[in-house]
Amino acid sequence: MYAVIQLDSENHRLRPKRVKMEFVCKYCNRTFNKHYSLLIHERNHLPTVNYRCEMCYKSFKRQDSLQQHRSTHSPNYRAGYALQL
């Protein structure tokens, strides 16, 4: 992502005007006026991300789900599970 500053050549001498920013998509070069609009757009270029557990290779759509899952591999969790049984 990079921004290009555009000046209004006709009016900027007459009165102070808000500087227009252009945000350019690094994948397809389409331009956007707002940074967040570019973020919304660029997410469509990205492949779907899956978070994968290093121990059992189970994958999750979210990082917090993976964190929660990781705890199931910890010895404490297993001990707790055994006690429950």
Partner 1 sequence: MEEQETMNKTLPLAKKQKINDSEYRLVDLNVDTISLNLTKHCLCQLPETCMLKEVFRVSNVSSWSKERLLNFLSSARLTCDIALKQQSEGTICTSVERLSNYLISNKTGIVNEVVSLLTRTDPYISYAASNALAEIFVCSQNKIDNVWVEELTDLFLRRSPETLCPVISVFKRVLCWRDSQMNDNEKNIKMPENCVSRKVIFEDDEIEMDDEFGISLVKTKVIEVLQTQWQLIVLKFIRYMSSFDHCTDLNTEQFTHKMGHIAIIEFIKLWTSMVSIKTNLNVMNIKYFYADLGQMLILLRRPKVQPVVWKNIINLFNESLCYTTTLAVQGTMQEEPCMLARELVKVVKTKNMLNNMPFRKGPGEFGGGEEDEGDKKLLQDTVLLILKAVATIIKETRNESSSSDSSSDESEDSEEIDAEMAIIESSVNEVLRKLDACVKKCMSYLPETQIAQWIVQLFSDRNDVLIESMICTIDISLVLCYRRNSLPMLRQVLNPTASLVEFLQTLSYNNDLNEIILDLLLGSDTSFLLYIMRILKFICNRWSEFCLCCDTKLQSTMATLMGLQTSLDQLIKNNLTPYNLNPVLRLLVKCNNLYSGIAVINI
The C-alpha atoms of residue 44 and residue 51 are separated, in whole angstroms, by: 18
Q: Is 82 helix (H, G, I), strand (E, B) or coil?
A: helix
One of 3, 19, 63, 74 touching partner 1 (CB under 8 A): 63
58 binds partner 1 (CB under 8 A): no
- HSE toward the beta carbon, residue 63, CA cutoff 13 A: 0
Pairing verdict, β 2-6 and 20-24: antiparallel
The residues in 27-46 that bind partner 1, with binding defined as CB under 8 A, are 27-34, 36-41, 43-46
12 binds partner 1 (CB under 8 A): no
- Residues that bind partner 1 in the complex, under the rule CB under 8 A: 26-34, 36-41, 43-49, 52, 61-64, 67
